[in-house]
Chains A and B, each alone.
Chain A
Amino acid sequence: MATFLQIILRSLETGSIYALAALGIIIIYRTSNTTNFAQGAVAMFNTFVVTYLFNRFGFPLWLAVMGGIMSAIVTGFLIDVLILRHTKKVSPVAKQIITLGLIMIVVGMAPIFFGVDPLRLPRLIDSGDLNFFGASISYNGLFNISLGLAIMLLLFYVLQRTKWGLAVRTTASNEYVARLMGVPTKTVTMAAWGIAGILGVIAGVMTAPMTSVTLNLMDEVQITALVACVLGGFQTFHGPVIGAYIMGIARNLLLFYVSSVWGGQILYILILIFIVFRPYGLIGKKVIKKV
């Protein structure tokens, strides 16, 4: 029982990472109408910025994270203003290819700026464990879980209860009509890219202490987040978040009880089988296309 509880606690921590990344993807999907395959690559780049500020310039960690968030906002804005804004006439598939091209640019540029050696990033809260019912969790893990939940609750509050959230939801449902109604859709899309960048870098900073900071830092998170979007359905903002937590828990359970090597792989295959039976995900509904 203690082991089981331990696994669930650890899963909630990784689950928050996946959820933040998935939320970044879904926000872009709803406002820019494209699956952002570069979310993980951009997050990796900004995590490198944090690590570099911390290791090379000796910034305190919190300041380095602030620096990373600033650079995430800047990169998000740049991607939108320089590239995505000019793709109004381009088909959705071509937009996806553009985000794939972005991966190549970002992954190619990172070693030029930051070198090829893996770097280390410490945890936000150094030490200390909390015990309950025989299971233990580090203060850092607890902090990650609560930070993830806090960010998500804040975002959902903003989306559902404020004027800005209304603007995002209007843009998401129909950009053209939103513009006619006076919603500044350009600013909304730009802000969405900035927010997705922030969510990415926070997920990156949470992931980094578990491994080392390399070019592949966010690969697994990115793939899991995309699959979580499939699992939860692309039609709502909360579906992918729920999907991400489910994947976090299922992954660790499979890794522990079934196979420590193949657990992650089995999970991907199970979810592919799952979408045969529920094609639009847990929460999603069928989108009826008009001719």
Chain B
Amino acid sequence: MKETTTYFKKHPWIGFVIFGIVLAMVPQMAAWGLFKQGYITTIGGTLIYAIAALGLNILLGYSGLISLGTAGFMGLATYISAYLTMDLKLPFEVAMILAILIPTLVGILVGLVSLKIEGLYLAIATLAVSEVLRKTFEELDQFTNGFSGKSASYPLLLGRFQLDKTSTYYLIVVVLVIIMIIVSNLMNGKLGRALNAMRGSEAAAQAMGVNLLTHRLIAFALATMFASVAGVLYVHFIKFSYPSSWILKLSLDFLAMIVIGGLRSIYGTVLGAFIVFALPDLFLKQIPYFENLSYVLNGLLIILVIIFYPNGLISIGHDIKRLFAKLKRGGKTNELET
């Protein structure tokens, strides 16, 4: 038993793949009638948000920077992808690459401007940029179709495989698993170590030869890139993009996801996405006023988690185990273990 656990710890990708297989069973379970078909859309949407949140978790969790532009960049990617596939009739793959590249470049520009100074400026700069983007989505009619929203279709892979809702869902799961593996590898490698050092002490990290600006910029570029990937998947899964979706509220929801789920935790981010998006949609919608209440609840959870439980809800299992172990010993605390 112990050997298998260490094996899993050594090769975290096995865990991610198994997690992906479990998620991939959702449409089959829906087909068997275990739950409603509509849940596929909800869970697929949640996984898309989890992809964007994983990027933000690198930025906030590892390098301690706040971006309020996640929703804006994600929206930009949805519009570019929809415009290229629907209006210019470009293939899905080309549209996807451009829709990821352009927002990432914009993000790098914003990062270059603001990260030179202090971490706090990034939050304000991204807030201003997301305001500019929101206005662009509303006003630049020929590109975004204004308030009536832009539509797109399910992706056509390699010019011949037309996906439908279920197969697009599988695509989302595959992308999510790939991104989980990428994040895990990056964060356990050189980049992760450098970012961790920066978070501990900027001066010490600099002394060890870590370039602050470059690493912050890489973290922010990754966050923007994953947000764009999420945007592309979103517009080809939900098939619509409205300016009113890409507002500050969504960026705050992303923040809530990673703080509630667990900073620097990959599974925590996915858990956070389920708590923030899927839970209200699947179970709690019937309660009147819930739309606003869930917002209040997320805000409250953010504050409570930060003050009382900074590791996030993902560590709850671990803490309960420790509590039980403590109870088993009859309340005597083992000095060595603590």
Query: Interface residues, chain A, CB within 8 Å of chain B?
Result: 35, 37, 83, 86-87, 90-94, 96-98, 100-109, 111-112, 219-220, 223, 226-227, 229-230, 261-262, 264-265, 268-269, 271-273, 275-276, 279-280, 289, 291
Contact = CB atoms under 8 A, between A and B. Distances in A.
B120 interface: yes
B299 A101 contact: yes
A220 B135 CA distance: 12
B80 interface: no
Contact of A104 (B65, B110, B117, B299): B299
Interface centre among B252, B289, B301 (most CB of A within 10 A): B252
B132 A112 contact: no
Interface string B285-296: 000010011111
Contact of B113 (A107, A112, A272, A291): A272
B276 to A, nearest CB: 10
Interface in B245-300: 248-249, 252, 255-256, 259, 289, 292-300
A291 B310 CA distance: 26
A111 B136 CA distance: 28
Contacts of B298: 101, 104
Contact of B117 (A83, A102, A275): A275
Contact of B132 (A87, A106, A229, A269): A269
Contacts of B120: 35, 92, 96
A223 B127 contact: yes
B149 interface: no
B292 A111 contact: yes
Contacts of B64: 91, 93
A271 B124 CA distance: 12
Nearest to B304: A101
A41 to B, nearest CB: 10
Contacts of B202: 289
B116 interface: yes
Contacts of A289: 202-203
A100 B289 contact: no
B128 A272 contact: yes
Interface in B87-142: 110, 113-114, 116-117, 119-121, 123-125, 127-129, 131-132, 135-136, 139
Given A93-B64, A219-B248, 13 more contacts: A35-B120, A94-B306, A97-B302, A97-B306, A98-B302, A101-B306, A103-B299, A108-B295, A262-B139, A265-B132, A265-B135, A272-B113, A272-B114
Interface centre among A91, A97, A229 (most CB of B within 10 A): A97
A268 B292 CA distance: 30
Contacts of B18: none
Interface string B56-84: 00001000111010000000000000000
A262 B131 CA distance: 11
B296 A105 contact: yes
B307 interface: yes
B177 to A, nearest CB: 28
Contacts of B121: 230, 275
Interface of B: 60, 64-66, 68, 110, 113-114, 116-117, 119-121, 123-125, 127-129, 131-132, 135-136, 139, 201-204, 248-249, 252, 255-256, 259, 289, 292-303, 306-307, 310
Given A90-B306, A226-B124, A265-B132, A273 B113 contact: yes
A102 B306 contact: no
The 8 closest A-B pairs by CB, nearest first: A104-B299, A108-B295, A101-B302, A108-B296, A105-B299, A268-B128, A101-B299, A291-B203
B119 A104 contact: no
A280 B65 CA distance: 18
Nearest to A234: B120
B244 to A, nearest CB: 11
A268 B131 contact: yes
A273 B307 CA distance: 36
Contacts of B68: 100
Interface centre among B65, B117, B252, B299 (most CB of A within 10 A): B299
Nearest to A94: B306
A100 B113 contact: no
Given A268-B131, A275-B114, A289-B203, A104 B302 contact: yes
Contacts of B306: 87, 90, 94, 97-98, 101
A280 B120 CA distance: 12
B66 A223 contact: no
B252 A103 contact: yes
B295 A230 contact: no
A239 B256 CA distance: 33
B129 A268 contact: yes
A97 B116 CA distance: 21
A218 to B, nearest CB: 12
Contact of A276 (B66, B113, B129): B113
B256 A101 contact: yes
Contacts of B310: 94
Nearest to B130: A223
Interface centre among A91, A93, A226, A276 (most CB of B within 10 A): A93
A109 B296 contact: yes
Contacts of B296: 104-105, 108-109
A93 B66 CA distance: 7
